Amino acid sequence: MKIAELNKLPADQARGLLVDCCGSSKWVNEMIARRPFKSRDAVLKSADETLDILEREDWLEAFSHHPRIGEKSGDKPQGERGSAWSSTEQSGIDPSAANVQEQIAAANAEYERRFGYIYIVCASGRSADEMLTIARERLKNDPEKELKVAAKEQRKITRLRLEKLLDAA
């Protein structure tokens, strides 16, 4: 998508595209308000600046739009584009490796019990074993530190998806 196209879209249509990049309503609304963008760099800079002002509730809302690692849908449904991106990002999960899937499901459940939200990791390019190892390490974090780590992962996902949106023909 070209920047000019994003700028010209009615707010509700732009909102539908941006929510697939980051599920925080505050982030989406701020990005809509910052239009028109002059360049790709301006979009990416605005995205980062807006992520800087998110609070705990905003991060949790963003996390809720993602499927658990190894699953296909999150608590809040994504659009087709977001679902396709999630599938591609989680392509390192081998459906035939049932043992690893069971371990990831157990780590997901333990993570949610400990922190109160899904285990979120930028899965793009990572294997199931890597994501499992990362989950186990992050379970050692205290809740305050873990929210910061999860937010950093959400930032990576948002950036990756925003770049995909801007690169889409």
Residues labelled catalytic = 66
CA pair distance 111, 139, nearest whole angstrom: 6
If we measure between CA atoms, which residue out of 46, 39, 12 comes closest to residue 158? 46
CA distance from start to end of the chain: 6
Q: Which residues contact 49 (CB under 8 A, 6 or more apart)?
A: none
**Counts for the chain of helices (H) and strands (E), in that order:** 9, 0
Measure the CA–CA gap between 37 and 6, rounded to whole angstroms: 8
CA torsion 3-22-68-87 (nearest 10°) is -10
